[in-house]
């Protein structure tokens, strides 16, 4: 099949490269000429494990190409995917659909054959109807179809998710679109990946409902973690017991500093706005957003307490800045609120992240970025692990203990246990266990002060 991907960002690139790998001929389009130049040179504008290799192979085999002009490729295409951004609209939190509609108008002007226009971008329910209306206005007597095909890829494991999906959701309103979409995904169909055909509006809503549910699940375990600290239970054990129930499932029960990223924050907000517009409020999701927002600054208060209660003029080392590992994406990362709150309290922040430093430098001029966690930790009054990168799981704690001003480790991802860390002389504060309880941290801080005074 001849396919066009409009938008060579995260979703467009991964989907385009993987569909080319299935044997389709894919043209990725982007308005950003510099980005297209980089892609033609084989450079990926984002960090995603495995993407560069797949893209290079398919470019070599002649199935994947990049261009700034959609006219030619769209004329010939069996299907055109819209994979442009749908950020939060400034001011009101609705999804900003201006890029989607702009791309639709350009596609409409170029369409020739009986092409299927597919929304891959995350778009509010009913957007497919508007896309159809825009194209019909431009080309009244032509046949075309509009389908919805939401993506469920996770950053950091997007290639794996694409090739082994839990499900593929396709919303169609006619037989032609159904047949074309089935052909596009035939390789997965043969792999027995479940393909779910629905009406277009249902497919659009499945995407938002999925992200909102996952965001709610993470927020649920985060609140349970807070309770664990008060009642001397351990959230990791609670999550194990909870997740062992097949009806609940064990994934997305890892307590942490609150969800972030390019999707959950904007999608939960957009869904809440849609629901309000239809006079059918989603109060669980409204609460999820509010609980998650306040959690991030609460994490900063926890670090401050663990560091002794007053961090004015003191250095705090942050390990991990991106919203999760295996990505360089800083969008809505918890580190943004946490660092702001630490700086508001007068702390000096030093940081290290394996992949996110380039994007992070654009956000802060007053954070000291370092080439390794050990450099970042020098003279720090506390170290905080904010992102669970693999390389932080095996830190040389003995070396770190000698470098820091105070051996305090605040582990907001629970990648260590108290026993792992205290034997190297560190005071440990994790999430959802006695080690993270406010009283425990206060006791430790007081003990440390007494120790410092005695010395």
Q: How far apart are CA 151 and CA 383, in angstroms?
A: 36
Q: Is the distance from CB of 3 to CB of 25 less than 8 angstroms?
A: yes
- What's the full length of the chain, in residues? 455
Rounded to the nearest angstrom, the gap between the alpha carbon of residue 77 and the centroid of all alpha carbons in its chain is 31
CB-wise, 211 or 435, nearer to ligand UGA? 211
Mapped onto helix, strand or coil, the DSSP state of residue 238 is helix
User: What is the residue whose two structure tokens read 């494991």?
Assistant: 157
Rounded to the nearest angstrom, the gap between the alpha carbon of residue 25 and the centroid of all alpha carbons in its chain is 28
> What φ, ψ does residue 350 adopt, rounded to 5°?
-115, 150
Please report how close the Cβ of residue 239 comes to ligand UGA at its closest, in angstroms.
8
DSSP secondary structure letter of residue 117: E
CB-wise, 323 or 428, nearer to ligand UGA? 323
CB-wise, 99 or 374, nearer to ligand UGA? 99
Please report how close the Cβ of residue 253 comes to ligand UGA at its closest, in angstroms.
6
- Does residue 266 bind ligand UGA (CB under 6 A)? no
- Does residue 101 bind ligand UGA (CB under 6 A)? no
CB-wise, 84 or 263, nearer to ligand UGA? 263
- Does residue 226 bind ligand UGA (CB under 6 A)? no
CB-wise, 253 or 445, nearer to ligand UGA? 253
Question: How many residues sit in the footprint of ligand UGA (CB under 6 A)?
Answer: 21
- Does residue 264 bind ligand UGA (CB under 6 A)? yes
Mapped onto helix, strand or coil, the DSSP state of residue 244 is coil
DSSP secondary structure letter of residue 378: T
Please report how close the Cβ of residue 107 comes to ligand UGA at its closest, in angstroms.
22
Whose CA is closest to 200, among 177, 184, 182, 179?
177
214, two tokens: 């996952």
Rg value, the chain, Cα:
24
- Does residue 48 bind ligand UGA (CB under 6 A)? no
> Among 324, 348, 440, 448, which residue interacts with ligand UGA (rule: CB under 6 A)?
324
> Among 256, 320, 356, 407, which residue interacts with ligand UGA (rule: CB under 6 A)?
256
Choose the binding region for ligand UGA from 31-39, 253-261, 285-293, 436-444 (rule: CB under 6 A).
Answer: 253-261
Q: How far apart are CA 92 and CA 52, in angstroms?
A: 37
Whose CA is closest to 411, among 433, 434, 428, 390?
428
Mapped onto helix, strand or coil, the DSSP state of residue 159 is helix
Q: How far apart are CA 347 and CA 350, in angstroms?
A: 10
210, two tokens: 């999925």
- Does residue 213 bind ligand UGA (CB under 6 A)? no
- Does residue 260 bind ligand UGA (CB under 6 A)? yes
Catalytic residues: 263
- Does residue 392 bind ligand UGA (CB under 6 A)? no
- Does residue 214 bind ligand UGA (CB under 6 A)? yes
Kindly tell me the burial class for residue 82, based on how many C-beta atoms sit within 10 Å of its own C-beta (0-12, 13-18, 19 or more). Answer: buried
- Does residue 259 bind ligand UGA (CB under 6 A)? yes
Q: How far apart are CA 377 and CA 352, in angstroms?
A: 9
35, two tokens: 């980005």
CA distances from 377 to 241, 248, 358, 363 (A): 36, 39, 19, 21
Q: How far apart are CA 118 and CA 115, in angstroms?
A: 9
- Does residue 185 bind ligand UGA (CB under 6 A)? no
Choose the binding region for ligand UGA from 48-56, 60-68, 80-88, 260-268 (rule: CB under 6 A).
Answer: 260-268
DSSP secondary structure of 380-411: -SEEEE-S--GGGTT--HHHHHHHSSS-EEEE
Please report how close the Cβ of residue 346 comes to ligand UGA at its closest, in angstroms.
27
> Among 73, 171, 261, 354, which residue interacts with ligand UGA (rule: CB under 6 A)?
261
Please report how close the Cβ of residue 372 comes to ligand UGA at its closest, in angstroms.
23
Please report how close the Cβ of residue 275 comes to ligand UGA at its closest, in angstroms.
18
CB-wise, 122 or 274, nearer to ligand UGA? 122
Please report how close the Cβ of residue 174 comes to ligand UGA at its closest, in angstroms.
26
CB-wise, 212 or 397, nearer to ligand UGA? 212
Binding mask 135-174 for ligand UGA (x = CB under 6 A): ----------------xxxxx-------------------
Please report how close the Cβ of residue 299 comes to ligand UGA at its closest, in angstroms.
12
Binding site for ligand UGA (CB under 6 A): 122, 151-155, 211, 214, 218, 252-254, 256, 259-261, 263-264, 267, 323-324
């Amino acid at each position: 099949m001849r396919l066009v991907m409009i938008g060579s960002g995260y979703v467009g690139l991964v989907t385009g490269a993987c569909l080319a790998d299935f044997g389709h001929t894919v043209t990725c389009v982007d308005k950003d000429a510099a980005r297209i130049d980089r892609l033609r040179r084989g450079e990926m504008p984002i960090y995603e494990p495995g993407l560069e290799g797949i893209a290079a192979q398919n470019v070599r085999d002649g199935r994947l190409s990049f261009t700034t002009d959609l006219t030619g490729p769209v004329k010939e295409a069996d299907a055109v995917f819209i994979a442009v951004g749908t950020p939060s609209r400034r001011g009101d939190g609705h999804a900003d659909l201006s890029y989607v509609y702009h791309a639709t108008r350009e596609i409409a002007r170029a369409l020739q054959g009986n092409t299927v226009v597919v929304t891959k971008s995350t778009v509010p329910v009913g957007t497919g109807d508007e896309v159809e209306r825009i194209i019909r206005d431009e080309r009244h007597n032509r046949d075309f179809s509009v389908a919805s095909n939401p993506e469920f890829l996770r950053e950091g494991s997007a290639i794996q998710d694409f090739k082994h999906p839990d499900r593929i959701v396709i919303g169609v309103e006619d037989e032609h679109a159904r047949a074309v979409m089935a052909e596009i995904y035939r390789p997965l169909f043969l792999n027995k990946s479940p393909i779910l055909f629905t009406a277009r509006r249902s497919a659009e809503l499945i995407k938002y409902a999925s992200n909102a549910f996952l965001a709610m699940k993470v927020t649920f375990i985060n609140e349970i973690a807070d309770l664990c600290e008060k009642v001397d239970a351990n959230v990791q054990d609670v999550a194990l017991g909870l997740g062992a129930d097949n009806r609940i499932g064990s994934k997305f029960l890892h307590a942490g500093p609150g969800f972030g990223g390019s999707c959950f924050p904007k999608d939960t907000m957009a869904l809440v706005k849609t629901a309000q517009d239809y006079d059918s409020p989603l109060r669980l999701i409204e609460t999820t957003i509010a609980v998650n927002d306040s959690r991030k600054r609460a994490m900063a208060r926890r670090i401050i307490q663990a560091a002794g209660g007053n961090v004015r003029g003191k250095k705090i080392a942050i390990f991990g800045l991106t919203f999760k590992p295996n990505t360089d994406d800083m969008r809505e990362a918890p580190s943004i609120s946490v660092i702001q709150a630490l700086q508001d309290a007068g702390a000096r922040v030093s940081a290290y992240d394996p992949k996110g430093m380039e994007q992070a430098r654009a956000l802060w001029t007053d954070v000291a970025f370092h080439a390794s966690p050990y450099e970042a930790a020098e003279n720090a009054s506390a170290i905080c692990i904010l992102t669970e990168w693999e390389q932080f799981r095996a830190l040389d704690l003995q070396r770190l203990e000698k470098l820091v001003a105070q051996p305090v480790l605040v582990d907001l991802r629970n990648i260590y246990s108290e026993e792992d860390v205290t034997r190297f002389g560190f005071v440990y504060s994790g999430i959802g266990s006695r080690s993270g309880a406010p009283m425990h941290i206060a006791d430790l801080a007081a003990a440390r002060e007494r120790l410092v005074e005695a010395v």
